[in-house]
Structure 1
Amino acid sequence: MSFDTIIVGAGTAGCLLANRLSADRGKRVLLLEAGGRDDYHWIHIPVGYLYCIGNPRTDWLYKTEPDAGLNGRSLRYPRGKVLGGCSSINGMIYMRGQSRDYEAWAEAAGDEAWRWGQVLPFFKQHENHWRLDAPAGVSERFKALHGHGGEWRVERQRLRWDVLDAFAEAAQQAGIPASDDFNGGSNEGVGYFEVNQRGGWRWNTAKAFLRPTCLGRPNFELWTGAQVRHLQFDESSGQRRCCGAEVMTPHGLETVRLNPGGELVLAAGAIGSPQILQLSGVGPAELLQRHGIDVVQALDGVGANLQDHLQIRTVFKVQGVKTLNTMANSLWGKARIGLEYALRRSGPMSMAPSQLGAFTRSSAAKVWPDLEYHVQPLSLDAFGEPLHRFNAITASVCNLNPTSRGTVQIRSAGAAVAPAIAPNYLSTEEDRRIAAESLRLTRKILAQPALARYRPEEYKPGPQYQSDEELARLAGDIATTIFHPVGTCKMGRDDDPLAVVDSRLRVRGIAGLRVVDASVMPTITSGNTNSPTLMIAERAAQWLLEARR
């Protein structure tokens, strides 16, 4: 029961870490996953996210606290509960963010290692980009920005829609340039997203990094159904050090220990990692004392600084064009969709939740794009509800750089009790103003000539709402999370009162303990967060291996 490295969480970061660290056959590595194996068939069929989110087999089923910015609503807050974590249930979109995100991280952390030019090789290290399968004709610039031969497959989508092509043309008429690569440092433009799939199947991190390489190594162990109750610490050497953890397994309570000089790595995500730290006595002293937990290390930032992308879902009815609404609302349509996927691994069953993307500015005063669109050839009242019976598209827009900040806090000293998640969406005047501006920009795009032949008609929120106050309130009524929580164990300088980890992701005041997942981001990236989390893990793996030597 003793190991050189214990990794808590077999999600996006944990699977990559396990692969890299167990490559050293002289060191024993244990990977703990509180959920189960990724053997549910809907995980692997791309459209299966519909059956995984909200499913207790694959989702932790978190909900947010009632939120004033959402007019008192609480939201479903999906987090992956299987090997691969959120990469097993997410939207599969490959997105790095913008170079400015990493320049800001470097400033916040006081470490040049986080600048764009420094992190780019760590994105490329595991990337396997489809365009480089046949590099002839690929530009040298593209080759310099992207990798090939790594474990993380990036492919183009296997379908197109006339109505989405028209939206892309309308966006260009509204001043948004076309883009064929959102991952070169500035993602400004409109185009189809690239996805983490292989041959029409979802490509999660368990497939990429655990099977078959990692699972065949004699120095590697994987435990599923293994929930960490709390971490253990030792001060006999005069320095507070993490020495192991108590883990509830299907066989009962187990204690796992670190060998001398070993490290425990929390990779349980922006909700799980702060929860485990707080349960272990690391966090805001007042919160811990309220729940009868002895304070091991007082760190006010544990569970603070929660950031997320809130998407405002606008729906427009269209005419004279095919959408998924009418295709999937008949037995014959469903049969055709299923047959196409069975024969070609293409069509709607191969769809990521969003197919077309656009990045632009909410106003001319913005130097960088601060809005992201996810455009879909379908519509529904809410996630999990039936598709509408009329043809429509959904144009969801989110503020890439929200100034609102929330919290994740334990409700009790028990690991089985979900924490209180309070994102505090739209709690700043700037976020409410950008929400209103983004709705106006959406209307501008839909009014362009390229879409006129489909006669778009605003269904949600409705054209009668025009003022900033009305639009901000409507945003609170119809907006929902895009599932990108980050920042709850942020890295930062020594003088940052909310910094939980240093620039090398070591927990302050405790040796042998790091956090490696989306929770360490000081600020949220300008786009989807899965791929930046993989980069963080790749970057941290190098430091962990260097520390061993």
Structure 2
Amino acid sequence: MSWMPRDLSSLCAVHTTVTNCAPSTFLFLQLITALFGGSRDNKLNPNPFYNFGHNNHAFGGHASELEYDFIVVGAGSAGCVVANRLTEIHHWRVLLLEAGDEEPEVAEVPAFAPVGLRSSIDWGYETQPSPRSCLARDGGRCPWARGKVMGGSSTLNYMIYNRGHPLDYDEWAAAGNPGWKFRDVLPYFRKSEDNRNYDRIDPYYHGFGGYQTVEIFPYQDSNVYSLIDAYKELGLEEFDQNTDRQIGTSLLQHTTRDGERLSTNGAFIRPIRNKRDNLDVRTNAQVTKVLIDPHNKIAIGVQFRQNGKVVEAYARKEVILSAGALNSPQILMLSGVGPADELQKFNIDVIQELAVGYNLQDHATMDGVLFGLNKTATTVTDEEREEDIRYYQRTRRGPLSSTGPLQVNAFVQTLFATGDRADIQYSLDATDVRNFITDPVLTAATAVTPLAYYDGIMVRPILLNPKSRGVVRLNYSDPEGAPLLFANTFQEQQDLLTMVEGVKQSLNLLRTHSLGKLGYQLVDVPLPDCTRDPFGSDEYWQCCAMSYTTTIYHPVGTCKMGPKNDKSAVVDAKLRVYGIKNLRVIDASIMPTIIRGNTNAPVIMIAEKGSDLIKHAWLKENIDLHSLPPPSSYQVSENEYH
């Protein structure tokens, strides 16, 4: 493979002083493509069709070499975990299908995270125009990045390891999903985890020795600890936020290992890919439908496109959809499972009517709250940037081994919050001040600068508990093409009001001694589409939220888990699709309600638990984990840690 960055040439066609469009940016992209554009997995796996063709049995009336016990659709945050865990049973053959290519080395550089967005490893999806969000964006659409690559969105995300609040999971169980309380799922969080910061965490809540390494970055610039100190001045305690409480601040842990991103591909598939002969992996294989016998409603396989050909593969036991909250509902609908009125528009035979695609939720945020830096800007010359790139390539250390100010986290409550859970999380994003005030939309669309270099910090309040709900629908012009995403962001007024309160609370940071002594200042240049309202007024911030809407890319909920009497549910508590035998969904789409935190760690947990549910069903043995002891009695041995 050869990774390709986003095409800036068309975006930068108009004359602009935004430096993202300067020749040096194009030279930077050329350099990193040359240095990091390949994949280590191509070197390890020169034959992309490795291990096919040694099983030539008839199945369901079909004579096919592509016959397996399980077929996993999507090698993303969930699918890689499921494929690993199912192939632990040596007599089970598993096919893992990924629509994208191998994971490129450029994705492994933490500070290069923005470069992956809208590149060749991103599906490139956009929301449909809405009257209350993304109004200033091109065409009124917001980009929704989704990984089209081995590792899926764990290869594309910003690597934050945060699980949300324990009550989020208790809420799932209370809604009629037994086995999903936090006490039930904590063992699965711990099972996958290899936490390498024993001195910074509460060990009761963490795992050691799992596949997925979790750690703080090896590099923090001077702003990072000043920002944490500022939050502490405002009364937020610094502690491990992956425990039984959340409101406070922390230096985030990430899914990295020794200065490199560790996607679920790197953690769960790469170590076993050429060692387990019962695992077959196919890349560039896009599944278009699940093959379902319409008479007995049993899933028997999948149809996928690869190398210009339509291929069918068959599953003796189960098909598992792990294509994510946007693609899993699309595949179900293409297979005849979904809302009858929607499927009939496309002349798709309805096999099972379910509320597929509904209940879409996401963590929305906004551009506009910008702090300019005086003494602590980290900008560099082109020559210094290239030196950092070469240094990182040799050592996996230096500024490029982290994500700048994004390492700092805070959870807070606004006046709309109830109970003990936060309703706002703050993301502190690296920004070029001059670029942003010159053209905020073009700056966002062309953002490829490494996160290590900035002279401004965009303070983004993240809406943790949105009331608004969206829907995923099939594309009217091409049902197999990009699904239509109706995000409906800020459809509910309370979401907008909560966002504004989040903005106003964030401004308290500028009152702290920690940031005041460094010369942090609010950039008070009104954004172009919001000049009708006085800068800093509630109306101004509402305009910014609706016009310069953005997201941290956490879509969930479109194949909702719920009890049988819940007409909006698509899967049961064992993740089985209602009305269809031998078909499960295991990914973010099953979340009944979005968790109050980052979604990657919960999706890995869902995959761990889902894998055990499958094993329990087919091995006919009780593999449920024993109840955990209370925190006060739990100890981690030195052997377990090491």
Report the counterpart of residue 151 of structure 1 in structure 2.
Answer: 211
Question: Which of the numbers 293, 296, 307 marks the counterpart of 1:250?
Answer: 307
Map Cα deviations across residues 223-247 of structure 1 (whole Å, 9 max, x no partner): 11111121111255xx421111211
Alignment pair present for 1:93 and 2:160: yes
Map Cα deviations across residues 409-446 of structure 1 (whole Å, 9 max, x no partner): 00148554111011111111110110110110011122
Report the counterpart of residue 427 of structure 2 in structure 1.
Answer: 374
Unaligned runs of 5+ residues in structure 2 are: 1-65, 527-532, 620-642
Look up the SS of the partner of 1:404 in the other structure.
Answer: coil
Alignment pair present for 1:105 and 2:172: yes
Look up the SS of the partner of 2:238 in the other structure.
Answer: coil
Map Cα deviations across residues 158-215 of structure 1 (whole Å, 9 max, x no partner): 2223223222222222222222x12113222112111111111110111111122244
- Summarize the alignment of residues 20-31 of structure 1 with structure 2, pairs less than 5 Å apart: 20-31=85-96
Report the counterpart of residue 434 of structure 1 in structure 2.
Answer: 498
CA distance in structure 2 between the aligned counterparts of 1:265 and 1:182, rounded to whole angstroms = 32
Question: Which of the numbers 455, 459, 463 marks the counterpart of 1:391?
Answer: 455
Alignment pair present for 1:510 and 2:580: yes
Contact kept, 8 Å, 1:71 with 1:473, in 2: the verdict is no
Give how far 1:472 is off: 1.4
CA distance in structure 2 between the aligned counterparts of 1:412 and 1:219, rounded to whole angstroms = 39
Contact kept, 8 Å, 1:355 with 1:376, in 2: the verdict is no
Report the counterpart of residue 500 of structure 1 in structure 2.
Answer: 570
CA distance in structure 1 between the aligned counterparts of 2:227 and 2:108, rounded to whole angstroms = 29
Give how far 1:390 is off: 7.9
Task: Judge which range, 62-71 or 403-412, deviates more.
Answer: 62-71
- Summarize the alignment of residues 214-229 of structure 1 with structure 2, pairs less than 5 Å apart: 214-229=273-288
Task: Judge which range, 203-212 or 114-123, deviates more.
Answer: 203-212
Contact kept, 8 Å, 2:115 with 2:447, in 1: the verdict is no
Give how far 1:456 is off: 2.6
Task: Judge which range, 309-318 or 386-395, deviates more.
Answer: 386-395
Report the counterpart of residue 277 of structure 1 in structure 2.
Answer: 332
Report the counterpart of residue 444 of structure 1 in structure 2.
Answer: 508
Report the counterpart of residue 169 of structure 1 in structure 2.
Answer: 229
Give how far 1:2 is off: 1.6
CA distance in structure 1 between the aligned counterparts of 2:325 and 2:266, rounded to whole angstroms = 22
Q: Relative to 1, partners in 2 of residues 1:506 and 1:493: Cα closer, same or farther, differing over 3 Å?
A: same
Report the counterpart of residue 129 of structure 2 in structure 1.
Answer: 66
RMSD: 2.1
Task: Give TM-score scaled by structure 1 length.
Answer: 0.92
Look up the SS of the partner of 1:70 in the other structure.
Answer: coil
Q: Relative to 1, partners in 2 of residues 1:492 and 1:365: Cα closer, same or farther, differing over 3 Å?
A: closer
Give how far 1:467 is off: 3.6
Give how far 1:375 is off: 1.5
CA distance in structure 2 between the aligned counterparts of 1:224 and 1:531, rounded to whole angstroms = 24
Question: Which of the numbers 158, 181, 184 marks the counterpart of 1:118?
Answer: 184
Alignment pair present for 1:211 and 2:270: yes
Alignment pair present for 1:263 and 2:321: no
Report the counterpart of residue 99 of structure 2 in structure 1.
Answer: 34
CA distance in structure 2 between the aligned counterparts of 1:98 and 1:243, rounded to whole angstroms = 38
CA distance in structure 1 between the aligned counterparts of 2:308 and 2:299, rounded to whole angstroms = 24
Report the counterpart of residue 383 of structure 2 in structure 1.
Answer: 332
CA distance in structure 2 between the aligned counterparts of 1:460 and 1:532, rounded to whole angstroms = 38
Give how far 1:339 is off: 4.2
CA distance in structure 1 between the aligned counterparts of 2:454 and 2:312, rounded to whole angstroms = 57
Alignment pair present for 1:53 and 2:117: yes
Give how far 1:148 is off: 0.5
Give how far 1:150 is off: 0.4
Contact kept, 8 Å, 1:22 with 1:28, in 2: the verdict is yes
Look up the SS of the partner of 1:68 in the other structure.
Answer: coil
Report the counterpart of residue 359 of structure 1 in structure 2.
Answer: 411
Report the counterpart of residue 357 of structure 2 in structure 1.
Answer: 303
CA distance in structure 2 between the aligned counterparts of 1:383 and 1:128, rounded to whole angstroms = 36
Look up the SS of the partner of 2:123 in the other structure.
Answer: coil
Q: Which amino acid aligns with 2:356?
A: V
CA distance in structure 2 between the aligned counterparts of 1:395 and 1:138, rounded to whole angstroms = 25
Q: Relative to 1, partners in 2 of residues 1:254 and 1:306: Cα closer, same or farther, differing over 3 Å?
A: same
Look up the SS of the partner of 1:105 in the other structure.
Answer: helix
Give how far 1:51 is off: 2.2
CA distance in structure 2 between the aligned counterparts of 1:224 and 1:487, rounded to whole angstroms = 26
Q: Relative to 1, partners in 2 of residues 1:426 and 1:404: Cα closer, same or farther, differing over 3 Å?
A: same
Alignment pair present for 1:6 and 2:71: yes
Give how far 1:288 is off: 0.6
Q: Higher strand proportion, which one?
A: 1
Contact kept, 8 Å, 1:461 with 1:474, in 2: the verdict is no
Q: Which amino acid aligns with 1:211?
A: R
CA distance in structure 1 between the aligned counterparts of 2:334 and 2:209, rounded to whole angstroms = 41
Unaligned runs of 5+ residues in structure 1 are: none
Look up the SS of the partner of 1:4 in the other structure.
Answer: strand
Q: What is the count of residue pairs matched by the alignment?
A: 530
Question: Which of the numbers 108, 111, 124 marks the counterpart of 1:44?
Answer: 108
Task: Give TM-score scaled by structure 2 length.
Answer: 0.79
Map Cα deviations across residues 425-475 of structure 1 (whole Å, 9 max, x no partner): 111111011011011001112222221123332226759434433321221
CA distance in structure 1 between the aligned counterparts of 2:398 and 2:553, rounded to whole angstroms = 25
CA distance in structure 2 between the aligned counterparts of 1:460 and 1:296, rounded to whole angstroms = 56
CA distance in structure 2 between the aligned counterparts of 1:398 and 1:460, rounded to whole angstroms = 21
CA distance in structure 1 between the aligned counterparts of 2:271 and 2:118, rounded to whole angstroms = 29
CA distance in structure 2 between the aligned counterparts of 1:90 and 1:71, rounded to whole angstroms = 21
